[in-house]
Amino acid sequence: MRKKVSRKNKLIPYLLVFLQFSGIALIIYTGSFFVRGPVLFMIQILAVILGLWSVLVMKLGHFNIIPIPQEDSVLITKGPYAIIRHPMYSSILLFTLISIIEDFNTLRLIIFIGLLISLVWKLNYEERLLKIKFHQYSKYQKKSFRILPFLY
């Protein structure tokens, strides 16, 4: 017997994506996005490389912005996924944090904190579903970090 999913629960993944993109858009809108300093710019470039590498390893056909595993998805544990379970989220957070550091104000910091909270909520939601889909996911969780190597 299938458990009936409430309408509210069906909307949660879309709300999480909306919050993620709203946070990114607000950070762009409220100040400079690309930094001018060479060191911070190199960190932003590394964040972009991490994001692109993550997408390439996952392969575009399996990339899904909604935190619901696709029917034909496979568990990726190589490349950046060998260390970080959500390297795309790491990339977003690193890139936007560097943007805020160079063009800091309290509003941007609040928006970043909101983005961070929404991404952590999104990854927790996604990981619950991944545990159901992949029996080896719990083992993978023990060998990798969520977003930040050696810390979280």
Structural domain includes residue 38: yes
Place of tokens 């458990």: 3
User: Is the dihedral angle over the CA atoms 116, 91, 23, 140 positive or is it negative?
Assistant: negative
Per-residue H/E/C for 34-76:
CCCCHHHHHHHHHHHHHHHHHHHHHCHHHCCCCCCCCCCCCCC
**What does the pLDDT average to over 128-136?**
94
**Is position 104 within any domain?**
yes
69 in a structural domain: no
Confidence of residue 108 (pLDDT cuts 50, 70, 90): very high
Residue 53 within any structural domain of the chain: yes
On whether residue 126 sits in a domain, the answer given is: yes
Domain range for 45 is: 26-60+75-143
- Mean pLDDT (the chain) is 90
pLDDT at 7: 56
Per the domain annotation, does 10 fall within a domain? no
Task: pLDDT band for 60, please (50, 70, 90 cuts).
Answer: low
Count of structural domains within the chain: 1
Q: Residue 46 falls within a domain, yes or no?
A: yes
Q: Rounded to two decimals, what is the model's pTM?
A: 0.88
The pLDDT score that the predictor gives to residue 33 is 80
